[in-house]
Amino acid sequence: MQQEPLASLPFRGKLIEMASPEPSEPIFARPRVILAGARAIYIGPCLALSPHRNAVATLAIALAMPFEIAWPQTPDRPTETRQIALIPPNTLHHLIAAGPMMFVYLDALADDQRTIGACIGSRPEELARIAADCAGIAIGSTAADIVRGLLALFGLGDPADDISPTGVAAAIRAIDDRPDSFGSAKIAASLAGLSESHFHRGIKRATGVPFRRYRLWRRMGIAAIALKDGASLTDAAMAGGFASSAHFSATFRRMFGIKPSLLINAQARFDVVHSACVATALA
């Protein structure tokens, strides 16, 4: 039996026409994870996500057909059919997609959420084109090209261009680079030059999540780099500072809606893009 093109399949909400890539493109099969400093990108099948809370603001983009998103903690808010959704940090949501997706996990310190919110909020009639542009960026590109393309599309800055941060921002950037150096908020507060209570308020204001949750997000990045280098789930968990592979898997599922073993079994590709590569590409 011949399968219908994804763009014409029925979905539980109203179908919105999109310019979709061919089903043979790699984004329809093998997951791809790109780590780019304090940002991360997922491209690939949606993998039946369970309700979860991302640690940072996340941009969800349908690459072929719209998805549905529900907000379990806001029962009066109806399930929405969307092409693009900007999900605030630490917000419980349930995303259901029948087609390939791109998730962009944003830099909490670079004002990504406000910039992207203004970009997509001011041009609702162009969301289909923006989603199609994202699909085009995702296909046949190197990891550095994908990061550069998304930064340009949404008008985001590269952290390499930032002035040296101070205070809470300096502590956040240090946690980005060395999450295991900050076993307690007291250490980060000292670096920020603040009392512990003031630091807790400051990091929550800057990132949208508490210190421990933000540090957990950055530890996930360390574990993902270990997976890229061929580590087992157990070794990746140890590299990220988790007590066991079970602890890592449970935490991963609460944060991303799937177990990391699903990515491994799907032969996910992991790439790391250093800031210098993006800055060079943008020059």
pLDDT in tens, 160-208: 555 557 899 999 999 998 998 998 999 999 999 999 999 999 999 999 8
Residues 87 and 49 in one domain: yes
Residues 89 and 193 in one domain: no
84: confidence class by pLDDT, cuts 50, 70, 90 = very high
CATH of the domain at 206: 1.10.10.60
Residues 132 and 243 in one domain: no
- Among 144, 159, 174, identify where a domain stops: 159
Domain that holds residue 229: 162-256
Looking at residue 136, the DSSP 8-state letter turns out to be H
Using the predicted structure, report yes or no on whether residue 139 has a pLDDT greater than 60. Answer: yes
Q: What is the pLDDT of residue 158?
A: 67
Q: What is the DSSP string of 181-246?
A: G-SSHHHHHHHHTS-HHHHHHHHHHHHSS-HHHHHHHHHHHHHHHHHHTT--HHHHHHHTT-SSHH
Residues 126 and 55 in one domain: yes
14 located within any domain: no
22 located within any domain: no
Residues 166 and 233 in one domain: yes
Residues 130 and 174 in one domain: no
Output the six-digit token pair for 279.
């800055």
Output the six-digit token pair for 15.
């179908």
Residues 64 and 152 in one domain: yes
Residues 149 and 86 in one domain: yes
Q: Are 90 and 53 in contact (CB under 8 A)?
A: yes
Domain count, the chain: 2
Q: What is the pLDDT of residue 75?
A: 79
Residues 50 and 143 in one domain: yes
Residues 56 and 89 in one domain: yes
Distance between CA atoms of 221 and 199, rounded to whole angstroms?
Answer: 23
Mapped onto helix, strand or coil, the DSSP state of residue 107 is: coil
Residues 176 and 71 in one domain: no
Whole-prediction pTM? 0.84
Q: What is the pLDDT of residue 275?
A: 57
Query: Could you report the per-residue pLDDT of 27-66, keeping only the tens digit for each?
Result: 568 899 999 989 999 999 988 899 999 999 999 999 999 9
**Residue with more model confidence, 86 or 111:** 86
CATH of the domain at 77: 2.60.120.10
Residues 117 and 174 in one domain: no
Mean pLDDT of 255-272: 93
Output the six-digit token pair for 197.
């209570």
